[in-house]
């Protein structure tokens, strides 16, 4: 009996000790900075040579990133804003000879326009151009660490002998992590030219007007926007049709009862009154017969 009591006592001691340790442990809190709505996000791009389009590395062999060209509208390199959907105009005021040749590489798909954005706010602006060591062996893919999200800009256009056509209107899609998982963190980004828009004709020394249509999405899934050739019947469409039909029926009923029916009743009453009066004057057989009888009776009386 005493052995059982000791065993029970030991089990209780172990249980309460584990419970106390669990209560003493605090949950891990991610103290890294996060974006708030409207925070500016800098865009940096992989530095390439204008002769061959090859990426440029620094003295330690790391990929070198440089800020996006300065936008004439703001006087700063391209920046996007967390959670803000709008069209951002970024006009490169002067296309230099090296920049023109890089555009040729980008448009001809000889080299991708590889850019990147910070996953979280950078604690120091000087870190914007820093590349982690593990990225030195990653060629043309941007930073694949947790600090940056690759932003590949698919720039399209056509090459000519004397000039270049660039589809400078681009859609930029960005995915933010769900608020329930990692609020204020960017998961993915991409940008691509809209070829149906009129392209910009560029020669060396011209200005290149870029327009980025920014759209943000929460989570990893894109909402379905394709309706197909013949379209689909959605619940909202069906409800709209039912409500429209009900509203039309109600308007017709109110009009008929409030306007049309009283008008018909008035016209019907007028027609009956007019018909009765005209029948008495023109087709009043009783009146004529009475008059005839009266006339005959009078005539007969005179004969008597």
DSSP string, 205-267: T--EEEEEEEEEEESSPPPP---TTT----HHHHHHHHHHHHHHHHHHHHHIIIIIHHHHHHH
Q: Does residue 264 belong to any structural domain of this protein?
A: no
Residue matched to tokens 């929460």 = 218
The pLDDT score that the predictor gives to residue 200 is: 93
Residue 275 resides in a domain = no
Q: Write the CA distances from 140 to 7, 50, 103, 135, integer angstroms.
A: 65, 15, 16, 10
Residue in 84, 67, 40 with CA at minimum distance from that of residue 172: 84
180: in domain: yes
The answer as to whether 137 is a domain residue is yes
Q: Write out the residue range of the structural domain in which residue 44 sits.
A: 40-218
| Structural domain contains residue 19 | no
Number of domains in the chain: 1
Q: Is the pTM of this model over 0.85?
A: no
Q: What is the pLDDT of residue 10?
A: 65
Vertex 243 angle, CA 241 and 248, to 5°: 95
| Widest pairwise Cα distance in the chain | 155
Say if 11 falls within a structural domain: no
Name residues of the chain where pLDDT drops below 50.
23, 125-144, 282-304
pLDDT at site 174: 95
State the Cα–Cα distance between residues 222 and 224, nearest whole angstrom: 6
The single residue listed with the structure tokens 């308007």 is 251
- Residue 25: inside a domain, yes or no? no
CB proximity list for 78: less than 8 A, separation 6 or greater: 42, 43, 68, 69, 71, 88, 90, 210, 212
Q: Residue 173 has what pLDDT?
A: 96
Domain membership of residue 230 (yes or no) is: no
Report residue 63 as tokens.
């990929």
């Amino acid at each position: 009996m005493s052995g059982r009591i000791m065993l029970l006592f030991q089990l209780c001691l172990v249980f309460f000790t584990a419970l106390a340790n669990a209560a003493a442990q605090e949950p891990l809190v991610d103290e890294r900075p996060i974006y708030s709505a409207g925070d500016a996000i800098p865009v940096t791009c992989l530095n390439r040579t204008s002769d061959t389009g090859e990426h440029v590395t620094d003295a330690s062999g790391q990929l070198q990133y440089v800020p996006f060209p300065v936008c004439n509208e703001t006087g700063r390199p391209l920046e996007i804003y967390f959670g803000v959907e709008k069209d951002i105009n970024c006009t490169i005021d002067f296309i230099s000879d090296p920049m023109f040749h890089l555009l040729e590489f980008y448009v001809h798909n000889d080299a991708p326009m590889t850019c990147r954005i910070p996953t979280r706010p950078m604690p120091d602006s000087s870190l914007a151009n820093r590349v982690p060591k593990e990225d030195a062996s990653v060629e043309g893919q941007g930073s694949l660490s947790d600090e940056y999200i690759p932003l590949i800009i698919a720039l399209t256009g056509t090459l000519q002998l004397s000039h270049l056509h660039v589809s400078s209107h681009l859609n930029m899609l960005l995915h933010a992590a769900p608020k329930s998982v990692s609020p204020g963190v960017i998961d993915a980004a991409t940008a691509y030219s809209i070829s149906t828009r009129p392209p910009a004709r560029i020669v060396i020394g011209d200005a290149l007007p870029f327009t980025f249509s920014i759209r943000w999405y929460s989570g990893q899934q894109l909402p379905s926007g394709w309706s197909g050739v013949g379209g689909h019947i959605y619940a909202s469409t069906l409800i709209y049709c039912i409500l429209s039909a009900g509203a039309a029926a109600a308007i017709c009923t109110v009009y008929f009862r409030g306007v049309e029916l009283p008008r018909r009743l008035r016209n019907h009453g007028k027609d009956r009154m007019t018909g009765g009066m005209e029948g008495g004057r023109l087709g009043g057989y009783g009146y004529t017969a009475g008059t005839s009888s009266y006339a005959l009776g009078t005539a007969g009386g005179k004969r008597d």
